[in-house]
Structure 1
Amino acid sequence: MNDTILDPDGARERLAAWKGRIDKLAADTQAMSARLQEVRVTVQDPAGLAVVTIDSTGALVDLRLTDRVQRTTPDAVAKVIMETLGAARSELAERSQEIIADTVGVASPVGQAIVQNMAPQQHGGQAPERSGDDDDGFDVQSMLRR
C-alpha cells in the first residue's frame, strides 16, 4: 500500500494547500466579478451620428444622436447605430478579457468558463455546452452560478 495515502500529516498539508487554492480562486473570482459588473463602454461612430453606451452585459443603456441624423436616411442611421453597437460590444469583450486575465487568468478553467459564458451575452446568442470540470475535480460552472 502507498504510505503517502495513509500519512495524516501529508494529507493535512495537501488539504491545506487545496483549501488555499480554493480560497484564492474565490477571492480572485469575486474581484473579477466586481470589476466586470462596473464596466461600461461608450463608442461614437466615425461619422459622428451616434454615441452608444452599453453595460457589462452588452445591453444598450444610452443612445445619443447628433443633429447630423437629420441629413441622413433612417436606414443609414439604423445601420450606423447597429455598427456602433457592435464596435462597443467588441470593446467590451476586450476589456472583459483584460479583467479576466488580471484576476483569474484566461487560461484557467474558471477564466475559460467565464469567457465562454460572456460571449453570448455580449453578442446575443446562447452559450455553448461545457463540462466545467477542472483538474481539481470541482464544477466551475456550478460555482459561478452561486
Structure 2
Amino acid sequence: MAGGILDPDGARDRLEAWKGRIDKLAADTQAMSERFQNVRVTVNDQNGLAQVTVDSTGAMVDLRLTDRIHRVPPDEVARAILTTLGQARGELADRSREIITDTVGDSPAARAIAERVGNRLRGNESARVVSQDEDDGNDSRTYLRER
C-alpha cells in the first residue's frame, strides 16, 4: 500500500514531519516566553503628574511622580496613577499580541492566547469566589479563582 496507513515508509515520513512541527512549535513557544519575560511598558499620564512602568505580568514595577502633584488634589493624583496604570496594561496587552503573532504566528490558538492575555491585563477576565468545598485547600477561607 504505497502511502497508505500500512506503508512503513509513509508512516515514518508523516511521523518525522509531525515531530518537526512539534519541535518548531516548542522552539517558537520558548522564544515567545523569553520575549514576554523581558517586556516592560512605561506610560506617562496626560497631565504630566505620573509615569508608570509595568512588567510582563502587568504588575507596576516603577512609579515616578512629578512636582506637579503638589498643585493638584490627592484624588486627582490617585486617578492619574490608576488611569496611567490601566493604559500601561493596555499597551502591554497590545505588545503581547504582537509577540505572540511574531513568534507562533496568527493561528486560532495564537489568537485565543492573545485574547486571554489581553483580557487579563485589561481587567476583563472575570473571577468568582470559590468555597472550601470546591477548593482543594484545607482551610475555610474563600479564594478568587479565574473562570
Name the residue aligned to 2:139: none
Name the CA shift for 1:125/1:90 in 2 (closer, same or farther; >3 Å). closer
- Matches of 1:3 and 1:14 in 2, distance apart? 10
Counterpart code for 2:26 = A
- Are 1:11 and 2:39 counterparts? no
Identity of aligned residues (%): 63
What TM-score, normalized to structure 2? 0.78
Name the CA shift for 1:3/1:27 in 2 (closer, same or farther; >3 Å). closer
What TM-score, normalized to structure 1? 0.79
Structure 1 residue 116, shift from structure 2 partner? 3.5
Query: Does the 8 Å CA contact 1:53/1:61 hold for their aligned counterparts?
Result: yes
Name the residue aligned to 2:120: 121
Query: Does the 8 Å CA contact 2:2/2:10 hold for their aligned counterparts?
Result: no
In proportion to residue count, which structure has more helix?
A: 1
SS at match of 2:52: strand
Residue-pair matches, total: 127
Cα root mean square deviation, aligned? 2.1
- Cα deviation per residue 1:33-84 (whole Å; 9 max; x = unaligned)? 1001100000111111000000001111111111101111111111111111
In proportion to residue count, which structure has more strand?
A: 2
**Which runs of 5 or more structure 2 residues have no equivalent in the other structure?**
128-147
SS at match of 1:80: helix
Structure 1 residue 108, shift from structure 2 partner? 4.3
